[in-house]
Amino acid sequence: MSLNQISVFVENMPGRLQLLTDALAKNRINMRALSLAETSEFGIVRIIVDDLEAAVSVLKEESFIYTVTKVLGVAIPDEPGGLNRVLNVLSGRSLNVEYMYAFLGGKDAAHAYMIFHVQAPDEAVSALSEEGITCIDDGNLANL
């Protein structure tokens, strides 16, 4: 159970990020999560979208450099210690979190949603599920 994340490489120059969002908006592709990491010369925009195939097609047409990576989407109880519980499960299994960022979910106010990139995603899903922590996949994005 995982999500498909698109990582898009963009030059670190005014207007380059907007070119990406223009291309997605014109094709009615909804970004559900976004993270931007930068260096002096380029940025990496990590996005979760509502239509992976359409997004990949648009990125190809517009000559963006991108990759698709499997990541975990995790529903975290929106309460003190909710994230800590998830991290305890992962660290207890010696699973390193390489990066993480927030995910938009609007219908369920009882949970926050986070994206995790971990070394062994299948093992992480199993460990989290054993502890009653819900992971989400591309199939249930529209329900969040």
Domain identity same for 45 and 102: no
Give the model's confidence band at 119: pLDDT under 50 very low, under 70 low, under 90 confident, else very high. confident
> Which position has the higher pLDDT, 15 or 144?
15
Query: Residue 109's pLDDT is what?
Result: 65
Element of type H or E holding 54: helix 52-61
pLDDT tens column, 27-73: 999 998 999 987 778 889 999 998 999 999 999 999 999 999 999 99
Calculate mean pLDDT across residues 97-111: 78
Buried b (16+ CB within 10 A) or exposed e, 34-59: bbeeeeeeebbbbbbbebbeebbebb
Query: Residue 41's pLDDT is what?
Result: 83
Percent of all residues in the chain with a pLDDT value above 70, rounded to a whole number: 92
Query: Residue 108's pLDDT is what?
Result: 62
State the Cα–Cα distance between residues 102 and 23, nearest whole angstrom.
23
Average pLDDT score over the chain:
89
Domain identity same for 58 and 75: no
Structural domain containing residue 77? 70-139
Domain identity same for 52 and 92: no
Of 29, 53, 69, the residue that ends a domain is 69
User: Could you tell me the CATH number of the domain that includes residue 10?
Assistant: 3.30.2130.10
> Which position has the higher pLDDT, 57 or 109?
57
Domain identity same for 33 and 83: no
What is the CA 21 to chain-centroid distance, rounded?
A: 16
Give the model's confidence band at 111: pLDDT under 50 very low, under 70 low, under 90 confident, else very high. confident
State the Cα–Cα distance between residues 71 and 22, nearest whole angstrom.
25
